[in-house]
Amino acid sequence: MRLFHEGLADKVFYLTAKTTGSDVALATFRRFLEQGFDARCSIIYSKERLCLRPGHSCNPDDCPFAKEYYTKLNLAKQKAAGEGRVYDSVFLSKFCRENSICPFEFQLDLSEESDLIIADYNYLFDPFVRLERYFGDDRDPSRYVALIDEGHNLVERGRMMYSARIDSRE
């Protein structure tokens, strides 16, 4: 892909409103790999979808996968890079269970090693959940390309992200 090999971009973000959009993007990436494409892909999931200990808090005292996370991180990233090029929920669940590391946090750290990141619109556009490591106020996103799947859905999603709500009960 010219973007990477000619140094025109560091990462491509494929942003979608629906899981089906993510599935199609991932299937397409897998086809590229079959044709010899040399790249890595991360899919960003919600914490609820990846958590290996639902109902427990995300702290080292309550979750063994959070315990010593940063001590295990570098070795886990090296190991993951040797085991695959697609970091999807199947890979993350199996790998993180075997290596006792938090899959939610690990997917974010592992995304730094990826060329393509597939994620929901929220991870770029929502000020409360955007990926600060890429799109924070102190970051320069000019080396990234964002592909917006079904951009017509972004209008309604944007309204939900940026509209205030008042609840009389509160």
Partner residues linked to 43 by β-bridges: 118
Contact 122, 161 (CB under 8 A): yes
**Predicted pLDDT at 77:** 95
Contact 89, 130 (CB under 8 A): no
Measure the CA–CA gap between 156 and 158, rounded to whole angstroms.
5
For the chain (170 residues), the mean pLDDT of every run of 10, in chain order, is 68 88 92 91 93 85 90 94 92 95 95 94 88 88 88 77 75
Measure the CA–CA gap between 125 and 128, rounded to whole angstroms.
9
Closest CA to 29 of 84, 81, 95, 78: 84
- Give, in order, the Cα–Cα distances in Å from 140 to each of 4, 10, 134, 135, 144: 17, 12, 8, 7, 9
**Predicted pLDDT at 1:** 53
